[in-house]
Amino acid sequence: MAAVEVLTSELVAPADETPAGAVWLSNLDLAARRGYTPTVYFYRPDGEPGVFAVDIIKDSLAKALVPFYPLAGRLGLDATGRLQVDCTGEGVVFVTARSDYVLNDLINDFVPCTEMRDLFVPRELSPTPPCVLLLVQVTSLRCGGMVLGLAVHHSLVDARSAAHFVETWASIARGSTGDAPAPPCFDHKLLSARPVPTVLYDHPEYKPEPTPPPHAVTTASTYASTLITVTKAQVSALKARCEAASTFRAVVALVWQCACRARSLPPDAETRLYSMVDMRPRLSPPLPPGYFGNAVIRTSAAATVEEVVCNPVGHAARRLRAATSQGDEYARSLVDYLEGVDTMNLPRSGVSRAHLRAISWMGMSLHDADFGFGAPAFMGPALMYYSGFLHVLNAAGKDNAVTLALSLEPESMPEFRKVFAEELA
């Protein structure tokens, strides 16, 4: 594996004066993972590499931090010890580096893992207050290509918000005169608990498993990860088997089915498929288009392994659809439920070996973040947190194809790849 040499490390502050004060965080922010989400963007050579591209990215970052000023602050605590964002304007970490990697070799070698995160994303600081909210690394490659690595704190930013920020930043960098992205909205009190909390649902996704799971929880050090591209034709054929299910539901249903087979789970074991649902358009009234914060909720579909494996894949897709169709009433019930629990003790560390957690990054602008030198040749997570994690993304440059970033136990991955390929064929 080629080395990466760090050249500079500094703080980049907003280009203009920004508001002070604090941003209140909602219960959905407090329920998010207490740490950074690392992502990477790979860019092909475009003209003269080096300082020019770095200067464009750095200067546009400072300008983007003006409307997105909370990112330049620090995660802090209010007088009661509740998390908040202190809008100090201190800035974000900005690192420049260089590597002997050639882009094509890097893309061929890349899978989300700790080693890749450590190469191309700034070393994460402690995620506890007071801490920075965004770290950026620009790595110049020997071929003239570039890697942009980001680590953003999940307590303030979900995937939709991250895409909103990167889209704005890239638009500034390339001097776009077209329609600007919506301005960010930091009014997290739109997701406040109701004066009289009313919990109408069970919300098991936010509770520890009541009994020790039959399969040990795996950790980040015990997973194997892979990237799989599902072509447009394969997606179409799979959706036809799933009664016109969405691309996300059809693909995830097949991964769930194949993972159960590859793991050789007992037929009567419970398997749960966790997912995240963006509630921005589902609330009544909907959140503003530029809502910047965590507006996703965890949901899940549970079944026996036998039910998932022995039925057509469309059955699993229908189960997933039922679990991801909640609206305003469900979201408000969850916010009210979280008002009455200690959010520090919510389950966040992983899933049982029988389970999967699927996240959609589809339909977001993450995969076409053009800073003036073209859309990325690849964009995805820099690492997977634990075994049983699945990201579904639009495949860069491939119309209606998707990329799967998946982690499983090392002993299960070869069989998964085999049965998944057979099912797609």
Question: Hey, what amino acid is at 148?
Answer: L
Sign of CA dihedral 90, 115, 217, 301: positive
Residue 7: what are its φ and ψ, rounded to 5°?
-100, -50
- Tell me how far CA of residue 210 lies from CA of 207, 335, 345, 346, in angstroms: 8, 22, 14, 13
Annotated active-site residue in 29, 86, 153, 154: 154
Whether 354 and 306 have beta carbons less than 8 Å apart is answered as no
Per-residue b/e over 272-284, b at no fewer than 16 CB within 10 Å? bbbbbbbbbebbe
- Tokens 């974000």 belong to 92
Is 370 a known active-site residue? yes
Q: Which of 46, 59, 105, 370 does the annotation list as catalytic?
A: 370
* DSSP secondary structure letters along 123-162: PP---SSSEESEEEEEEEETTS-EEEEEEEETTT--HHHH
Q: Are strands 270-278 and 356-360 parallel, antiparallel or unpaired?
A: parallel
* Whole-angstrom distance, CA of residue 422 vs CA of residue 301: 25
Dist. CA 103–CA 41, nearest whole Å: 11
- What six digits make up the tokens of 344? 């520090």
Give the catalytic positions in this structure. 154, 370
